[in-house]
C-alpha cells in the first residue's frame, strides 16, 4: 500500500517525535511505500530552520514523489469548487488530496478537517 505524508506529519518526523516515527516505522516494516507531494516539500522548505537542510533532504530522498500533473490539477480544482466555501479548503490541501486520490494512497495527516473529501482515505494514528 501507499501512504501520502502530509506536511504536519513530516514536521513531526523531522522534529524527532518518537511516537509518530514508531507508527510510521511499523507501516514501513509491513512493506508499505511512503510518498509526498511537491506541495508538501514546498511547505517544509518554506519553514526550514538553518542547519536542518541536510536532514530534510535525506528524509525526502527516502520517499517517492507524486508528481502533480494535469489530472491532479483538474481534480484539485473540483475539490476547491466543492469545499472551499463550506470547509475553507486551500489550494495546497486540494492538490495533496487530488494526489492521494490518483495515486490511491492513504493520506496520513493530523489535520483531518483540511480533507473533507469523501473519495480519499485518511489514515489516523492510534
Domain parsing of the chain, residue ranges: 2-123
**Element spanning 64, H or E:** strand 64-65
What is residue 126's predicted lDDT score, i.e. its pLDDT? Answer: 54
What is residue 104's predicted lDDT score, i.e. its pLDDT? Answer: 98
Phi, psi of 16 (to 5 degrees): 65, 40
Q: Identify the three-state secondary structure at position 69.
A: coil
Cα distance between residue 7 and residue 47, in whole Å: 11
Instruction: Specify whether domain 2-123 bears CATH 3.20.20.70.
Output: no
Cα distance between residue 24 and residue 85, in whole Å: 33
What is residue 31's predicted lDDT score, i.e. its pLDDT? Answer: 96
Per-residue pLDDT of 28-85, as tens digits, reads 999 999 999 999 999 999 999 999 999 999 999 999 999 999 999 999 999 999 999 9
Per-residue pLDDT of 96-114, as tens digits, reads 999 999 999 999 999 999 9
Cα distance between residue 18 and residue 50, in whole Å: 22
Amino acid at each position: 500500500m501507499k501512504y501520502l505524508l502530509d506536511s504536519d506529519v513530516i514536521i513531526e518526523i523531522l522534529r524527532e517525535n518518537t511516537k509518530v516515527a514508531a507508527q510510521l516505522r511499523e507501516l514501513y516494516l509491513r512493506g508499505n511505500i511512503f510518498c509526498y507531494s511537491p506541495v508538501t516539500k514546498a511547505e517544509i522548505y518554506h519553514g526550514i530552520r538553518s542547519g536542518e537542510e541536510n536532514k530534510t533532504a535525506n528524509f525526502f530522498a527516502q520517499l517517492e514523489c507524486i508528481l502533480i500533473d494535469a489530472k491532479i490539477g483538474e481534480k484539485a480544482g473540483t475539490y476547491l469548487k466543492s469545499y472551499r466555501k463550506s470547509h475553507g479548503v486551500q489550494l495546497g490541501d486540494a492538490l495533496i488530496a487530488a494526489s492521494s486520490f490518483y495515486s490511491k494512497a492513504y493520506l496520513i495527516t493530523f489535520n483531518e478537517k483540511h480533507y473533507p473529501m469523501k473519495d480519499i482515505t485518511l489514515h489516523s494514528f492510534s
